[in-house]
Amino acid sequence: MINIQKKIRLDQYTTFKIGGPADFFVAITSLADLQEALSWAQKNKQNILFLGGGSNTLISDRGFRGLVIKNEISGIELVRENAKAVWLKAQSGEWWSSLVNHAVLHNYYGAENLFLIPGTVGAAPMQNIGAYGVELKDVFCSLEAVEIRTGKLKKFNKADCDFGYRYSIFKGKLKHKYFIYSVTLKLNKTPKFKLDYGDIQKTLAEKKIINPNAREVVSVIMEIRNSKLPNPSVLPNAGSFFKNSEISLAALKKLQKKFPDVKFFPATKGVKVPAGWLIEQCGFKGKVIGKVGIHEKQALVLVNYGGAKASQVINLADKIMTCVRSKFGLKLECEINYIE
């Protein structure tokens, strides 16, 4: 039997530590709990908001008018293996880094570069999380999702998910229609590390590590992330606030005429211009306005310095986007989910 509570503040459930109260709130630990919560919401004509780890999320100051379902369904199991690979299935309320760490401890390879991305397993396919040259789709096999309208469980293969840059069908055509219940990864039994992105190779060289193992790669990833990104438990934030700008090669050449030192890296179509670089060129890096600001080491991260309101964060984000559009002619897109 689920326990539905009233007027629960949501700031305590997000890494930004921002958000007003929910009309109704329930924590679930099983599929049966979920189906009961969905049935209750339908009978009582309530809107639904799912919360996992609360990262990548900004909730409005007015809170949420409806039922917030906090996902605490956990568990990891080996469901299949052959001579070359294993298939790991994790429940959607499991912490993402716990899944990566589980794989590393059992010598299952492929997800190392995704270590320390905040949030739960269920959030990973929603926006096809990625870091250091690896995306979820590179190790993804399938997922199970519950249709919100009917409560029925459905399986989605990789092709069904329509993965793109920080995108999946669950952010597009199927947005608000499914609850991701479990995710299955296909991982290798032999290592094939991707070390040519960011400072990974450089950091390994500094440590005199020539042939790293998975634990060493994860250790380096953790060191790099901690040196550049603020810990949400110390400085509340939602991770990367903006997506990198994807532009064509023709657009890049045009941009280079005015900004010869523009940073970029290859993308599936054209190139990506780092949003952090664009924001830094606009003079926002390290800037503090009232109780919100841009982190001094990573311009992609907006920070709550204590008691900030969602409206203040949005105002700052608007100023940043306006400046980037005016200076570079590029439109920044928010990566975080803003719940109004």
Rounded to the nearest 5°, which phi and psi values hold at 88? -105, 130
* Residue 62: per-residue pLDDT: 96
Q: Is 166 a catalytic residue?
A: yes
Catalytic pick from 36, 72, 216, 335?
335
Per cent of the chain over pLDDT 70 is 100
Cα 335–chain centre separation: 8
Give 13-37 pLDDT, tens digit per residue: 999 999 999 999 999 999 999 999 9
Question: Which residue in 154, 163, 166, 143 sits closest to 87, CA to CA?
Answer: 143
* pLDDT for the residue 211: 93
The answer, yes or no, to whether residue 266 has pLDDT greater than 90, is no
Burial (CB count within 10 angstroms: exposed 0-12, middle 13-18, buried 19+), residue 150: exposed
Residue 142 annotated to the active site: no
- Kindly report the average pLDDT of the chain as a whole number: 96
Q: Annotated catalytic residue: which of 142, 168, 240, 245?
A: 240
DSSP-assigned letters across all residues of 88-152 = EEEETTSBHHHHHHHHHHTT-BS-GGGTT--SBTTHHHHTT-EETTEEGGGTEEEEEEEETTT--
Instruction: Tell me how many degrees the CA angle 160-94-28 measures, rounded to the nearest 5.
Output: 95
Instruction: Report the amino acid identity of residue 35.
Output: Q
240 noted as active-site residue:
yes
- Residues 42-75: tens digit of each pLDDT: 999 999 999 999 999 999 999 999 999 999 999 9
pLDDT digits (tens, 9 = 90+) for 219-237: 999 999 999 889 999 999 9
Supply the pLDDT for residue 197. 84
pLDDT at 198: 79
Q: What is the pLDDT of residue 273?
A: 96
Catalytic residue among 92, 112, 135, 166: 166
pTM of the model: 0.92
Confidence bin at 148 (pLDDT 50/70/90): very high
CA 154 → CA 70, 94, 96, 141, 166, distances in Å?
21, 19, 22, 14, 22
